[in-house]
Structure 1
Amino acid sequence: MDVGQQPAAWHELAATFATIAAALFGLFFVAMALHLDAISTNVTVRARARVSLQSLALSVVQSLLILVPRQPPLWLGIELITTEIVYVMLGAGLRVRAGITALIAAMPIAAGISLIAGHGPGLLLQVPAIIIGVVLGCWQAWNTILPAELQTRRTVTKARR
Structure 2
Amino acid sequence: MSVPADWESFAVMTGGASAALTGLLFVAVSVDTGRIARHPGLRAGAAQTLVLFIAPLLMATALLVPGQPDPVLGAELIAMGIGACLSLLAIGRNKREAAVDDGRLTDIFDRRDTNVVVMLLFVAAGALLAFGHDAGLYLLLPASAVAFVSGVLNAWRFLLPPPHAHPPREPDS
Runs (5+) with no aligned partner, structure 1: 148-161
**1 CA distance for matches of 2:39 and 2:138?**
39
**Aligned-partner residue type, residue 3 of structure 2:** P
Q: Percent identity?
A: 31
Give how far 1:6 is off: 5.2
In the superposition, relative to structure 1, how do residues 15 and 120 fare at CA in structure 2: closer, same or farther (>3 Å)? closer
Find the counterpart in structure 2 of residue 90 from structure 1. 87
Give how far 1:86 is off: 0.9
**Aligned-partner residue type, residue 123 of structure 1:** L
In the superposition, relative to structure 1, how do residues 130 and 117 fare at CA in structure 2: closer, same or farther (>3 Å)? same
**1:136 and 2:150 matched:** yes
Runs (5+) with no aligned partner, structure 2: 96-109, 162-173
Of the candidates 76, 79, 88, which is equivalent to residue 76 of structure 2?
79
Of the candidates 17, 24, 46, which is equivalent to residue 20 of structure 1?
17
Give how far 1:120 is off: 5.5
In the superposition, relative to structure 1, how do residues 112 and 98 fare at CA in structure 2: closer, same or farther (>3 Å)? same
Moved over 6 A (4+): none
Find the counterpart in structure 2 of residue 30 from structure 1. 27
Q: Is the 8 A contact 2:25 2:155 kept in 1?
A: yes
Q: Which structure ranks higher in relative contact order (CA pairs < 8 Å, sequence separation ≥ 6)?
A: 1
Find the counterpart in structure 1 of residue 129 from structure 2. 115
**1 CA distance for matches of 2:27 and 2:39?**
18
In the superposition, relative to structure 1, how do residues 51 and 37 fare at CA in structure 2: closer, same or farther (>3 Å)? same
- Aligned-residue Cα RMSD (Å) equals 1.7
Q: Is the 8 A contact 1:8 1:70 kept in 2?
A: no
Highest Rg: 1 or 2?
1
Find the counterpart in structure 2 of residue 46 from structure 1. 43
